[in-house]
Amino acid sequence: MMSATRGPVSPKSKAGTRGDRVRALSWGAFMRVHPRGHLLMGNYGAEESSPKEIRSRAVLLKRLASTVCQLGHYAVTTLRNCEDGDVTMVGFERRQDADRLSQVVNARIVPRIGNWKSNRSFNFDAKASRRIARYLAGGEVPGAPPFIGPASECQPSR
């Protein structure tokens, strides 16, 4: 499993934090602290993207998560699967954060898997990447919540 985020090993660590505001966690730390969070999966086609492009899209999704996650922890990771296509996953502590990010990427609700409280999916193609980039630039994206700026305005998780 390749991680697209290199956040702190522990949610108590100060590395990767913005004061007491929302923190990005490593996937392992997130799963230890929030084993029943909310999952968003961005699916790539099997022959659609190069590893370099997948990494750049995962970074874009991480930037989006850091912008829209206002209430809790989140983590981003990418799973490699040459046969069926890779997937970049975002785990959320809070449903509201999952809802906001899902609106930006036009994710659809899919059947729950594992212990996740909710599960959504979207095709992580060039169109989705452009939509995310437009949102991050402060542009209007149909169906997305209003742009709120970077996470520096976010409230702490309690």
Nearest to residue 44, comparing CAs of 20, 8, 21, 78? 78
129-147 per-residue burial string, b: 16 or more CB within 10 A, e: under 16: bebbeebbeeeebeebeeb
Render each residue's pLDDT in the chain as its tens digit; 158 residues: 343 444 444 444 444 444 445 689 999 999 999 999 999 999 987 666 678 888 889 999 999 999 888 899 999 999 887 677 789 999 999 999 999 999 999 999 999 889 999 999 999 988 899 989 988 888 777 666 666 655 444 444 44
* pLDDT of res. 32: 95
| Residue ranges in the chain assigned as alpha helix (H) | 27-33, 51-68, 95-105, 126-136
- Tokens representing 142? 């149909």
* pLDDT of res. 152: 41
Q: Which fold has domain 27-137?
A: Alpha-Beta Plaits (3.30.70)
92, containing H or E segment = strand 87-92
Can you state the angle between helices 51-68 and 126-136, rounded to 10 degrees? 40
The domain spans of the chain are 27-137
